[in-house]
Amino acid sequence: MPIALFRIDDRLVHGQVVVGWGQPLKLGFIVLADDDVAAEEWEQELYRMGVPPNVDLVFATVDDAARSLDRYRADARAGMVLTGTVDAMLRLVRGASPGAVRTVNVGGIHHRDDRAQKLRYVFLNADEEAALRALETAGVTVTAQDVPSARAVPLTEILRGEQP
Amino acid sequence: MTDANHVPRRAIVTGHGAFPDGLVSAVQQITGRGEMIVPFSNAGLGREEIETGLRDCIEQSRATVVFTDLPGGSATLAARRILRDMPSLTIVTGANLATLVDFVFADEGMSAAEAAAHAAERGRVALATVHA
């Protein structure tokens, strides 16, 4: 089954991911592609507690996730692949087989001093803007959408930042 | 003990959207003891901001208990990270109004952890289905 959602969310596994998307998509597994969490057993335990027992939470480095993407896609269950940063998602797309990632959902990149607000839940610095553009150059459609009931905002609108 | 001698224990309620403010408002309406609970919403905040904000909130209010909404929500995860270096803290997940009302009326002889455990049980009992 194709991966149901590729998402960038700096909160990683949290309520919006597990409940807001997880329930309507009937997720059977979530791949958290994050180098720091992949190296930290305690953090993994923390995130496991937030996921219902019927959902498998898989921890992988970004490179491992990219290499394993075809295996995730062969899973009969619906799955989500999650990164905490734009850079990690770009690395994942570049490391995966061509065409493996068609769309990326920007779910939450929150305030930091070096970032400018684009949407209510999306703040970007120049490097992150460039990385999102690079995703589209790589053939990936990028939209922002925090929850399924919201409109998917295309990248051009995100970058214009007209909907704070 | 009279109210003049009463030193109230403090707690934080944290979670999504207006959940924290709403619960504190409801506690105040019912008990007049809303000042015992400090609200902290995760709305619009990133992972690090939630943890920093919650930590500041705990330290400033000298709260000993943190009530949260979803067990796997980002506010709960932040509270669990803080617990690592504040082991005296107690976290109650899945909090509801019955939980908080019980907490603000907890016997003064109880420790904060005991009051939190009692409140959690009261909240659990309050959660019920009602049929005609």
Q: Is residue B131 part of a domain?
A: no
Looking at the predicted structure, is the pLDDT value of residue B5 above 60?
A: no
pLDDT tens digits, B41-66: 999 999 999 999 999 999 999 999 99
Q: Is residue B27 part of a domain?
A: yes
Looking at the predicted structure, is the pLDDT value of residue B4 above 70?
A: no
In this prediction, residue B2 has a pLDDT band, given cuts at 50, 70 and 90, of: very low
- What's the number of domains chain B is made of? 1
pLDDT, residue B65, reads 98
- In this complex, is the C-beta atom of B14 within 8 Å of any C-beta atom belonging to chain A? no
Q: CA-to-CA distance for B63 and B9, rounded, in angstroms?
A: 7
Q: CA-to-CA distance for B33 and A139, rounded, in angstroms?
A: 57
The Cβ of residue A41 has, within 10 Å, a number of other Cβ atoms equal to: 10
pLDDT, residue A163, reads 61
Q: Is residue B1 part of a domain?
A: no
CB contact under 8 A, A50 and B77: yes
- In this complex, is the C-beta atom of B94 within 8 Å of any C-beta atom belonging to chain A? no
Of all residues in chain B, the percent with pLDDT exceeding 70 is 94
Closest CB from A13, A18, A110 relative to B45: A110
Q: CA-to-CA distance for B46 and A109, rounded, in angstroms?
A: 7
pLDDT tens digits, A121-156: 999 999 999 999 999 999 999 999 999 999 999 999
CATH number of the domain encompassing residue B36: 3.40.50.510
CB contact under 8 A, B46 and A13: no
Residues contacting B106, CB < 8 A, separation 6+:
B9, B114, B115, B118, B119
DSSP A109: B
The beta-strand segments (E) located in B45-131 are 65-68, 90-92
Sketch out chain A's domains with CATH numbers.
5-160 (3.40.35.10)
Q: CA-to-CA distance for B48 and B45, rounded, in angstroms?
A: 8
Q: Is residue B66 part of a domain?
A: yes
Mean pLDDT of B1-13: 68
Q: Domain containing B24: what range?
A: 8-125
Interface test with B, best of A37, A110, A115 (most B CBs within 10 A): A110
Closest CB from B46, B69, B80 relative to A111: B46
Residue of B nearest to A49 (CA): B72
Q: Which residue has the tokens 């709960």?
A: B76
The beta-strand segments (E) located in chain B are 11-15, 37-41, 65-68, 90-92
> Within chain B, what is the greatest distance between any pair of CA atoms?
49
Coil, helix or strand at residue A31: strand
Q: Tally C-beta pairs within 8 A across A and B.
A: 50
Mean pLDDT of B97-125: 96
Tokens of B42: 């995760």
pLDDT tens digits, A92-115: 999 999 999 999 999 999 999 999
